[in-house]
Chain A
């Protein structure tokens, strides 16, 4: 059977002629080149997807100074509120922000410069004040953080109700806390002075206090005097300018007398002129209350601005503004921190403000909350992102395989 069938099949097959197609070789080689190019592209695509996913996954969080958390720390992009127990060991390391918690009636709070954690601290002799006393007496910070965030100064004393319903504050010393060692020291008040109306630090490491002077005329508001106290020696001396004085002593930003919204911020200069720095009208159409915090450099003031409803940023926030003694071409105005607690005393380690590079995208603060979270590329949870990346890679490879089989 097989022989017969094979013969018949052979005879049948011989009816087929063969005419070679001279283009077969060229077509095959072209297909080979296309295949190699497609394979190369597929490999590049897969490597790009994997490398991109990896880069996004391990990308460092956007941070403030120098693009990363520097050893000295950074100012947080949102100043948090404490949720842990009160800390009595004051060796917490450098702080970026110090404020007095309005909600808990005068509880001092420090924000760690390196972790961004807000800590409620137990400061010795810190005056226990109610909200009315705080608002009525102080016109600037009284819990003052040094420019480098290492030291803390405040008036040590207590509130006294000499007349029923009227609280006055009795201050006996200034206390300075070293936040690295946890040690504290006491400094005498400048001669003839009492409770200050504001406390701050000078750029060269002295404590600056604004105090009420003598009442020269009955019914007139007392003058405001400014003193500096050397924390190393305890020596004190008067200053020509009140408020927060810039490095070099040429200009200062006085603390406001009351919480009235202004459209221009007053400054004092050593020459006796008192220039104004107008607030951007488009940001604050109804003005804002401005309280100086410190100087980031010779002419860049850090200030707390409390803006009314209808402003570009409503409520309290921190800003940077150029002092009016500089030419108009150098003026700048930057929002530094939007999330600021409602407090009567806010102090910032101004040395943590990075030097401005003149570009608006420059990151000035650090998002500590984001640093604690696992990276979320494009807002997608990391594990989900990796899964989607792998699925996308497989889909790309399957599509390429289909194209390969379909057209090559």
Chain B
């Protein structure tokens, strides 16, 4: 199998799953598409080196790329004063509330949350993937859940009680 066809096969098989993770990481459909495409371009660039386990490389690239993009856009982010304000009660469903609350997390918090509760990685695996310590993962995970409770009290059942 040629490199090109192997790459296409990988994209076809794993693209949707990667796109779902990307959406949770970015909180934006368009940004999620861009994030996946950017990671796939990087994968094509280094295909000879990663073709035995391309998904791990693409996911790691997405995690870091998303944080890197946020750093470039952070001056356009919402000011901190409104950051902890409760999500508008007009949101009709829990899912919409969760979606909007996730957007209010920092990229690191969101990434840790996605890796821990969506990808089902352990703290150690999450730390290894992001290149940070397990303690930092634990701390960011706790902060993320705590913020979700503040941002959307109606999600208390979903994220559990504060401990």
Q: Does A28 contact B (CB under 8 A)?
A: yes
A10 to B22: give the CA distance in the assembly, Å. 12
Q: Does A166 contact B (CB under 8 A)?
A: no
How many residues on chain A are close to B (CB under 8 Å)? 28
- Interface digits, B18-33 against A, CB 8 Å rule (1 contact, 0 not)? 1111111000010011
Smallest distance from the beta carbon of A21 to chain B beta carbons, Å? 5
Residues of B within 8 A of A (CB): 4, 7-8, 11-12, 15-16, 18-24, 29, 32-33, 36-37, 40-47, 94-95, 98-99, 102, 114, 117-118, 120, 157-160
Beta-carbon contact of A13 and B20 below 8 Å: yes
Question: Chain B residue with minimal CB distance to A408?
Answer: B45
> How far apart are B57's CB and chain A's nearest CB, in angstroms?
12
Are A6's CB and B118's CB within 8 A? yes
**A360 contacts B by Cβ under 8 Å:** no
Give 22 pairs: A residue, B residue, CB < 8 Å, sorted on A: A5-B159, A6-B120, A8-B95, A8-B98, A11-B95, A12-B23, A12-B102, A13-B20, A13-B23, A17-B16, A17-B19, A18-B18, A19-B33, A21-B40, A24-B11, A24-B41, A24-B44, A25-B4, A25-B44, A28-B40, A28-B41, A28-B47
Identify which of residues 13-35 in chain A touch chain B, using a CB-to-CB cut-off of 8 Å: 13-21, 24-29, 31-32, 35
Shortest CB–CB separation between residue B33 and chain A, in angstroms? 8
Tell me whether B20 and A31 are in contact (CB under 8 A): no
- In Å, the complex CA distance between A28 and B43 comes to 7
In the bound complex, CA of A24 to CA of B3 (Å): 13
Interface contact A8-B158, CB-CB below 8 Å = yes
B118 & A10 in contact (Cβ 8 Å cutoff)? yes
Q: What CA separation (Å) do A305 and B161 show in the bound complex? A: 106
C-alpha spacing A333/B46, complex, angstroms: 68
A29 vs B158: C-alpha distance in the bound complex, in angstroms? Answer: 44
Query: Which residue in chain A gives the minimum CB-CB distance to B99?
Result: A12
Would A4 and B158 count as touching, CB distance under 8 A? yes
Q: Which residues of B contact A163 (CB under 8 A)?
A: none
Cβ B24 vs Cβ A13 within 8 A: yes
A232 interface residue per 8 A CB criterion: no
Q: A9-B24, A13-B21, A15-B23 are in contact. Are A20 and B44 (CB under 8 A)?
A: no
A9 x B44 contact (CB < 8 A):
no
Expressed in whole angstroms, the minimum distance between the Cβ of B121 and any Cβ of chain A is: 12
A32 touches B45 (CB 8 A): yes
Q: How far is the CB of A88 from chain B (nearest CB, A)?
A: 78
A2 at interface by CB-CB < 8 Å: yes
| A8 engages B15 (CB within 8 Å) | no
User: Which residue of chain A has its CB nearest to the CB of B37?
Assistant: A21
- Smallest Cβ distance from B45 to chain A, in angstroms? 4
On whether the beta carbons of A27 and B98 are closer than 8 Å, the reply is no
Given contacts A11-B95, A20-B12, contact A29 B118 (CB under 8 A): no
Report the bound CA distance from A179 to B34 in whole Å: 87
Residues from chain A with a CB closer than 8 A to the CB of B7 are: 25
Task: Give chain A residues whose Cβ lies under 8 Å from the Cβ of B40.
Answer: 20-21, 24, 28
